[in-house]
């Protein structure tokens, strides 16, 4: 719906050199070579930290649609004060939306309360990668840059995984339903 319209509006804008470089640099396939284990939220997913914010379990389900995907992760805020994710960029998309499945719309920010965490997942908040620049097979890595209201920026590599390898229960089926 809303983010499909945005994809149409914004697709075809500038394609970054960084996108091409990231795809070339990340083709080792280490993540894909590791067989998925039951209930394993393990080390193949992306982790990064900056300031008092941490990102864990960053991953991208191998997109079912050719040009639209999603990114999932969990943000932990170790500070006392509230923070919020206010912008995101990706190496493979010039149009990343902060999306709320419950509102079926893009949102201005995703809150991460002080001392708390926010999970970005298919049935809640997540990142929509619109106008993906080329195929995104399992084993590739999407470089995400996350900007928070506090001014903190976190860069994290999110491996592309087959949905069955990364999804908990049928989460990815729920996600594709809203496209």
Query: Is there binding between residue 96 and Cu ion (CB under 5 A)?
Result: no
Of 27-35, 73-81, 94-102, 139-147, the segment contacting Cu ion by CB under 5 A is: 94-102
Tell me, by CB under 5 A, how many residues bind Cu ion: 3
Task: Tell me how far, at minimum, the Cβ of 90 lies from Cu ion, in Å.
Answer: 13
Q: How far apart are CA 70 and CA 127, in angstroms?
A: 5
Question: Kindly report the CA angle at 22 between 153 and 160, in degrees rounded to 5?
Answer: 85
Structure tokens at 128: 């929509």
Q: How far apart are CA 170 and CA 174, in angstroms?
A: 7
Smaller CB separation from Cu ion, 49 or 106: 106
Distance of CA 65 to the CA centre of its chain: 15
Of 55-63, 78-86, 98-106, 164-172, the segment contacting Cu ion by CB under 5 A is: 98-106
Task: Tell me how far, at minimum, the Cβ of 33 lies from Cu ion, in Å.
Answer: 28
The interface mask with Cu ion, positions 102-141, x = CB under 5 A, is: --------------------------x-------------
Structural contact between residues 75 and 86, judged by C-beta atoms closer than 8 angstroms: no
Smaller CB separation from Cu ion, 15 or 64: 64
Quick one: which of 94, 88, 87, 162 has its CA closest to 132? 94
Q: How far apart are CA 171 and CA 2, in angstroms?
A: 21
Q: Give the binding site for Cu ion (CB under 5 A).
A: 70, 99, 128
């Amino acid at each position: 719906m809303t983010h499909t319209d945005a994809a149409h509006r914004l697709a075809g804008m500038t394609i970054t050199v960084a996108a091409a470089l990231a795809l070339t640099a990340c083709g080792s396939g280490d993540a894909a070579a590791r067989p998925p284990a039951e209930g394993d939220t393990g080390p193949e997913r992306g982790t990064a930290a900056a300031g008092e914010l941490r990102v864990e379990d960053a991953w991208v389900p191998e997109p079912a649609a050719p040009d639209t995907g999603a990114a999932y992760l969990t943000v932990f805020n170790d500070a006392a004060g509230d923070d919020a994710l206010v912008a995101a960029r990706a190496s493979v998309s010039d149009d990343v939306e902060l999306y709320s499945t419950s509102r079926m719309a893009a949102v201005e920010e995703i809150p991460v309360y002080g001392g708390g965490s926010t999970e970005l997942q298919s049935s809640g908040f997540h990142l929509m990668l619109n106008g993906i620049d080329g195929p995104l097979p399992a084993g590739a890595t999407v470089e995400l840059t996350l900007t928070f209201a506090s001014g903190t920026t976190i860069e994290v590599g999110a491996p592309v995984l087959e949905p069955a390898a990364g999804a908990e229960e049928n989460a990815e089926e729920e996600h594709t339903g809203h496209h």
